Chains A and B, each alone.
Chain A
Amino acid sequence: MYTMGIDVGSSSSKAVILRDGSEVVAEAVVQAGTGSSGPGRVLEEIAARSGLKVQDMAFILATGYGRSNLPMADKQMSEITCHAKGVFFEEPTARTIIDIGGQDVKAIALTDQGTIRQFYMNDKCAAGTGRFLEVMSRVLEVGLDEMAGYHFRSQHPASVSSTCTVFAESEVISLLSQGMAKEDIIAGVHFSVAAKACALAQRVGVRESVVLTGGVGQNSGVADAIQKELGQQILVARDPQLTGALGAALLAYEEQIRKEKSA
């Protein structure tokens, strides 16, 4: 039996196909999110990779901000539930999840059984999210995928505000005009993201293992900053951008089994 999880976020669309709720058949990511061509393209991409069509899926479960706009989905669930499912599947020691996406930061506390005990989300503010990093990347003229390299070369990380993306952007421009090294500014930006995320994590109560997920988890500089901010080791999900879609595919399998049992 094939099930698909599709996670349409604010900046990207992700899909995962599972066989019998345990084996990953195919994965796909398109860097375009809800309201764009992203959802359609990610479906084409995963079909090409797996050789499977939407009609081959026993159950499709959608998540992410665009979850309500996918007519082919049998059900939609929140990304909090899906990330928790995906992380615990891959890392059963996970008890705290920090999920940093395009426009959200979430901290999720798990029970020993992997169910959600508590969660917090950022308020309506882009500070500490992927969008914040995108803005900084543009100002600094450093690609998102290059930022981690700069981070690890920093000697004296700058102090960058974590309260507002626009103010932080002004601060970064000011630091650039003062001639500060990009390495130090970027490390400061990462610590700013970490401060925001860790404040949420502290609210749910940090228990080991801490797992970082969401698109920003691909940036090892942010992971390093979070470790330093928390004062403990953290794990990064195997493919942090795909964890939500993986969780959705797992939940799709459970839904289908439940459906078959009740039929």
Chain B
Amino acid sequence: MEQNVKTLLEQFRTIAANPKKAVEDHKAETGKGAIGMMPVYAPEEMVHATGFLPVGLWGGNRPVSKARTYLPPFACSIMQQVMELECDGAYDILDAVVFSVPCDTLKCMSQKWKGSAPALVFTHPQNRGLEAANRFLEHEYAVLQEKLEEVTGVKVTNVALEQSIQVYNENRAVMREFAKLAAEYPQVISAVDRHAVFKARMFMEKSRHTALVRELMEAVRASDPQPWMGKKVVVTGILVEPDGLLSLFDELGLAIVADDLAQESRQVRVDVPEGDEAPLYRLARVWQNMYGCPLATDTKKARGPMLQDMVRKTGADAVVVAMMKFCDPEEWDYPIYHRQFGEWGIRDLMIEVDQEAVSFEQARTRLQSLVETL
């Protein structure tokens, strides 16, 4: 059974590292193409309902050179990587790219997208309290659906959309369960492996991902959880990459017992609500139900209390803030919850995330110091 866990985790790692193969396999199998999904939040269910493969575009880990011509140096690391990949033609295999524009950089990127795959842009409403905002977003989604139908040549029926919503809600529930399981079995599921399971989600048809995660969880549960002698942390931010950075957590005995990462648990935090309303309207309601993310306006700033609750429930020793380089929404949130942590006696540590990085000595010193002082 232990071998089975290793094999399954290796499978997730392979998928997470090979998005191009995922697209090619999907095309060969279904005859349908792939749609890129730019960060951060988009109604992927809509793409799924066309039978095309939604593929998360969350950057990479390559030297940035060509992108410097088109982007200011203070554009975030993900956008630098996406621009570099775009310049290299990596996205030419896609049929379109769906852009949500919750930050200034994404807004500008969506307007200067020059890849062969067209950009399909929609806007989330800033106001997340009014019913009119739900209706506005429903209308944005209807426009997006029309564009998708044009690109894919597939009519999205309400029946297909309902089925996709069900598939996604199921996958989100499974991933929430997986995150809890990973916290119980840090010896079995390393920080790098945990990330691979989440990342593979971006390149797999979701019902298949759900099935594979269930298989993994069953294999892991075949053994009893063992006491963890290291420290436990909650990680917050946009993402923790590349693997060299995550490996430090494993080397230093830091188990990630919960995450509040935009690339990981924020994607599965909120389900599409059940109900009799039209599927597009219910998809739109997700935006108002979302919480704890600086890209979704929150006048009450509930992220601090949310993280406090995560620390309490998981017994974490500290919060590691994975600060995406030049992500101003994340930067603006930091002083608020950092002060709250001080008041609540919660230790926290900020490390910088730059996807281009190849050396992690500064992060090692910071993380090691945290471990030594907890």
Using a CB–CB cutoff of 8 Å, the interface residues on chain A facing chain B are: 65, 77-81, 104, 115-116, 119, 121, 123-124
Considering the chains assembled together, what is the distance between the CA atoms of A65 and B372 in angstroms?
16
List residues of chain B with CB within 8 A of the CB of A65.
361, 365
Considering the chains assembled together, what is the distance between the CA atoms of A142 and B328 in angstroms?
40
Minimum Cβ distance to chain A for residue B299 (Å): 26
Considering the chains assembled together, what is the distance between the CA atoms of A104 and B352 in angstroms?
15
Decide yes or no whether B373 CB sits under 8 A from chain A: yes
In the complex the two chains form, is B365's CB within 8 Å of A79's CB? yes
Minimum Cβ distance to chain B for residue A166 (Å): 13
Task: Return the contact of B369 from the options A119, A123, A124 (Cβ within 8 A).
Answer: A119
Given the known A-B contacts A121-B365, A124-B352, are A77 and B373 also in contact in the complex, defined by CB atoms under 8 Å? no
In the complex the two chains form, is B372's CB within 8 Å of A81's CB? yes
In the complex the two chains form, is A81's CB within 8 Å of B362's CB? no
In the complex the two chains form, is A78's CB within 8 Å of B352's CB? no
Decide yes or no whether B208 CB sits under 8 A from chain A: no
Using a CB–CB cutoff of 8 Å, the interface residues on chain B facing chain A are: 352, 354, 361-362, 365-366, 368-369, 372-373
Considering the chains assembled together, what is the distance between the CA atoms of A45 and B354 in angstroms?
40
Considering the chains assembled together, what is the distance between the CA atoms of A78 and B366 in angstroms?
8
A80: nearest residue on chain B (CB-CB)?
A: B369
Considering the chains assembled together, what is the distance between the CA atoms of A124 and B325 in angstroms?
11
What would be 21 A-B contacts, judged by CB atoms less than 8 Å apart?
Answer: A65-B361, A65-B365, A77-B372, A78-B365, A78-B369, A79-B365, A80-B365, A80-B369, A81-B368, A81-B372, A104-B362, A115-B373, A116-B369, A116-B372, A116-B373, A119-B366, A119-B369, A121-B365, A123-B352, A123-B362, A124-B362
Considering the chains assembled together, what is the distance between the CA atoms of A104 and B354 in angstroms?
18
Considering the chains assembled together, what is the distance between the CA atoms of A84 and B366 in angstroms?
14
In the complex the two chains form, is B362's CB within 8 Å of A121's CB? yes
In the complex the two chains form, is A121's CB within 8 Å of B366's CB? yes
Considering the chains assembled together, what is the distance between the CA atoms of A116 and B349 in angstroms?
12
Considering the chains assembled together, what is the distance between the CA atoms of A119 and B366 in angstroms?
9
Considering the chains assembled together, what is the distance between the CA atoms of A104 and B364 in angstroms?
13
Considering the chains assembled together, what is the distance between the CA atoms of A162 and B362 in angstroms?
20
Task: Return the contact of A81 from the options B352, B354, B361, B373 (Cβ within 8 A).
Answer: B373
Task: Return the contact of B368 from the options A78, A115, A124 (Cβ within 8 A).
Answer: A78
List residues of chain A with CB within 8 A of the CB of B362.
104, 121, 123-124
List residues of chain B with CB within 8 A of the CB of A124.
352, 354, 362
Minimum Cβ distance to chain B for residue A6 (Å): 16
Minimum Cβ distance to chain A for residue B356 (Å): 11
Minimum Cβ distance to chain B for residue A17 (Å): 22
Considering the chains assembled together, what is the distance between the CA atoms of A104 and B368 in angstroms?
16
List residues of chain B with CB within 8 A of the CB of A121.
362, 365-366
List residues of chain B with CB within 8 A of the CB of A79.
365
Considering the chains assembled together, what is the distance between the CA atoms of A144 and B9 in angstroms?
54
Minimum Cβ distance to chain A for residue B313 (Å): 24
List residues of chain B with CB within 8 A of the CB of A119.
366, 369, 373
Considering the chains assembled together, what is the distance between the CA atoms of A124 and B361 in angstroms?
10
Minimum Cβ distance to chain B for residue A180 (Å): 30
List residues of chain A with CB within 8 A of the CB of B372.
77-78, 80-81, 116
List residues of chain A with CB within 8 A of the CB of B368.
77-78, 81
Nearest 4 A-B pairs (CB), nearest first?
A80-B369, A78-B369, A116-B373, A78-B368
Beyond A81-B372, A119-B366, 17 additional pairs, beta carbon < 8 A: A65-B361, A77-B368, A77-B372, A78-B365, A78-B372, A80-B366, A80-B369, A81-B368, A104-B362, A116-B369, A116-B372, A119-B369, A119-B373, A121-B365, A124-B352, A124-B354, A124-B362
List residues of chain B with CB within 8 A of the CB of A81.
368-369, 372-373
Minimum Cβ distance to chain B for residue A101 (Å): 11
Considering the chains assembled together, what is the distance between the CA atoms of A6 and B108 in angstroms?
50
Considering the chains assembled together, what is the distance between the CA atoms of A170 and B352 in angstroms?
28
Most B C-beta atoms less than 10 A away, residue of A79, A115, A124: A124
List residues of chain B with CB within 8 A of the CB of A77.
368, 372
